[in-house]
Amino acid sequence: MSLFEKPGKDGKPLAERMRPRTLAEFVGQGHLLGADRPLRRAIEAGQAGSLILFGPPGVGKTTLAHLIARHSGLHFTALSAVLSGVKDLRDAVAEADARRRASGQGTLLFVDEIHRFNKAQQDALLPFVESGQVVLVGATTENPAFSVIAPLLSRCRVLRLEGLADDAIGALVERALADAERGLGARRLQLTTAARARLIAGAGGDARRALNVLDAAQAMVPDGATLEESAIAEALQHRTLLHDRAGDLHYDLLSALHKSLRNSDAQAALYWLARLIEADADPMQAARRMVAMAAEDIGLADPMALQVAVAAMTALQNLGLPEGRLPLAEAAIYLAAAPKSNSTYRAIEAALAAVRGAPQHPVPPRLRNAPTPLAKAWGHGEGYRYAHEHEGGVAPMECLPDALAGTRFYEPATRGFEAKVAQRLAEADALRRGQRDG
C-alpha cells in the first residue's frame, strides 16, 4: 500500500499511520521547507533533484523523500543500505528503465542509511545519478562529509535536518490524539499537562519516538481515559538516548564536555558526562578527553589537574562501570573548578611553528655530547657551563640555536600556580642576564 493511500486496519503503528501526506502537514525543518525557502519551491515545482538528507532519527527524512516523489510524479523505490547490495541497485535501476520506457514515469530511488554502503557500492550509484536514470535521495544519520564519497556528494545537494523542537513534537502529539481517521481521535483520549511534558522531553526531538511512546501508552488505557504521567513514564522506560558511537553526535557530546570544563561550568560538565555514560558510550573516551583538557586548558595553572585526570582514567580502567563514573565525576568537578591557562598549548604550538617554518638549526657545540676524544676534538661540549656551579643553579649560557637566541615560545599566565612558574622563570632569566653582563 502506498504511503499516501488511506490506511486500513492493517496493524500499522501510529507513527506510520500519521506520516505527513502533504508538505502542509510536514512539521519542523522551517529552515528548509518554510513557505519562502528555495527547497520548498523546488519540491512544489517537481525540481528538487538528487539529495542527501542528513539528520538524526525521526525528523522526517523518509517522509520528505516520499513527498518529493509525489510532487515530482516519480515512482518511489526504496532500498536499505543495511540489507541491499550492488545487485539490488542494478535491479532497481533496470526496473526504473523499464518503467520509463513503458509509461514515461521516472523513479526516485531512496537509499536509507546510505552511509552504510561501502565505497564500491557508492561508486555503483554514480553512473545512474549522472545519467538521470534515477533521482537519488539518500538518508543518513552520519555526517556525509565523512561517510559519503566526494563524487556522489558533488552530484547531490546535502541538506541538514534538525531534531524537532518541543512545540513541533507537541503539535504532532495533539494531531495524533485528534485525528479519528489515522490517529487516536476515535478513542477520545486526553493527556495531562505533566504527561504531555514528559512525552515531549522523552522524545528528544524524534517524532517517531514520540508517537511510538504515545502508541504504547494508549494501549494500556480504555477509551475516553486521561493519560497520566505514570503511563508515559512506563512507555518510556526502555528509552535509548540519542547517540552514535562513531558519528557527529558522539563527538559533539565529547566537545560539549570539553568546552564546559574549559569554561569552568561544573554543572554542564556533569550533564554532558552523564549523557555519554547513559548512552552507553565508551567512558574511556570521556576520560581521555578530560586528560587532554587538563593539559590544554589548565596546564601549569594547576599541575595537579593532569594528575587528577590521569588518576580518574586509571581508576575507570580498574573499576569499570558503574563504579568508574565516580572518579570521572570527581575529575570533572575538579577540572571545572581549577584555574585555567592555555599557555602550555600556545607554547608548544609556537615552538612547532618555529621548527616547521625555519631551517633545522644545528645543535650548538656547547650543548653537544662529547663521549669520545674525537667528539671533543670536533669541539663538542666546548663552552658548556654546568648549571649547578653557578648562582641560583642557572648558568650564563644560551641553550637555543644562535639564530633563535632570545626567542620566547612560552608566555606564562598569572593564574593559579603558574604565577609561581612565571616568577621562577623570570628569576632564572635575570640570573642569566646578570651573569653574562658580569
The CATH number of the domain holding residue 180 is: 1.10.8.60
Query: Is position 222 within any domain?
Result: yes
- Residue 204 region, left (φ>0) first, then alpha (ψ -120 to 50), else beta? left
Query: Is position 347 within any domain?
Result: no
Q: How many domains does the chain have?
A: 4
Give the cell for residue 251.
563527538
Phi and psi at residue 42, in whole multiples of 5°? -65, -40
The residues with which 77 forms a beta bridge, in sequence order, are 109
The CATH number of the domain holding residue 99 is: 3.40.50.300
Taking the C-alpha atoms of residue 200 and residue 194, their distance in angstroms, rounded to an integer, is: 10
Last residue within a domain, chosen from 321, 337, 353: 337
Query: Is position 124 within any domain?
Result: yes
Residues 399-425 have pLDDT tens digits of: 888 788 888 888 888 888 888 888 888
> Are both 40 and 133 inside the same structural domain?
yes
- Rounding to the nearest 10 degrees, give the CA dihedral for residues 346, 352, 355, 357: -80
Q: Decide: residue 197, CB within 10 A, 0-12 exposed, 13-18 middle, 19+ buried.
A: middle
DSSP state of 296: I
Query: Is position 15 within any domain?
Result: no
Which domain range does residue 37 map to?
Answer: 29-160
What is this structure's pTM? 0.58
46: pLDDT strictly greater than 60: yes
Phi and psi at residue 119, in whole multiples of 5°? -60, -45
> Are both 39 and 156 inside the same structural domain?
yes
> Are both 223 and 304 inside the same structural domain?
no
Residues 102-159 have pLDDT tens digits of: 999 999 999 988 888 888 888 888 888 888 888 899 998 888 888 888 888 888 888 8
Query: Is position 284 within any domain?
Result: yes
Residues 280-295 have pLDDT tens digits of: 778 888 999 999 999 9
Query: Is position 304 within any domain?
Result: yes
> Are both 188 and 96 inside the same structural domain?
no
Query: Is position 241 within any domain?
Result: no
Last residue within a domain, chosen from 186, 208, 235: 235
Pairing assessment for the beta strands 226-227 and 157-160 based on DSSP bridges: unpaired
Query: Is position 351 within any domain?
Result: no
Taking the C-alpha atoms of residue 34 and residue 28, their distance in angstroms, rounded to an integer, is: 9
> Are both 129 and 194 inside the same structural domain?
no
Taking the C-alpha atoms of residue 123 and residue 127, their distance in angstroms, rounded to an integer, is: 8
Describe the crossing of helices 248-262 and 266-278 by its angle, rounded to 10 degrees. 160
- Render 203-272 in DSSP notation, one character per residue: HTT-HHHHHHHHHHHHTTS-TT-EE-HHHHHHHTTT------TTSHHHHHHHHHHHHHHHTT-HHHHHHH
> Are both 195 and 214 inside the same structural domain?
yes
Residues 57-72 have pLDDT tens digits of: 888 899 999 999 998 8
Taking the C-alpha atoms of residue 399 and residue 47, their distance in angstroms, rounded to an integer, is: 68
> Are both 34 and 156 inside the same structural domain?
yes
> Are both 187 and 225 inside the same structural domain?
yes
pLDDT of 4 reads 42
| Confidence class for position 238, pLDDT limits 50, 70, 90 | low
> Are both 144 and 56 inside the same structural domain?
yes
Last residue within a domain, chosen from 160, 175, 201: 160
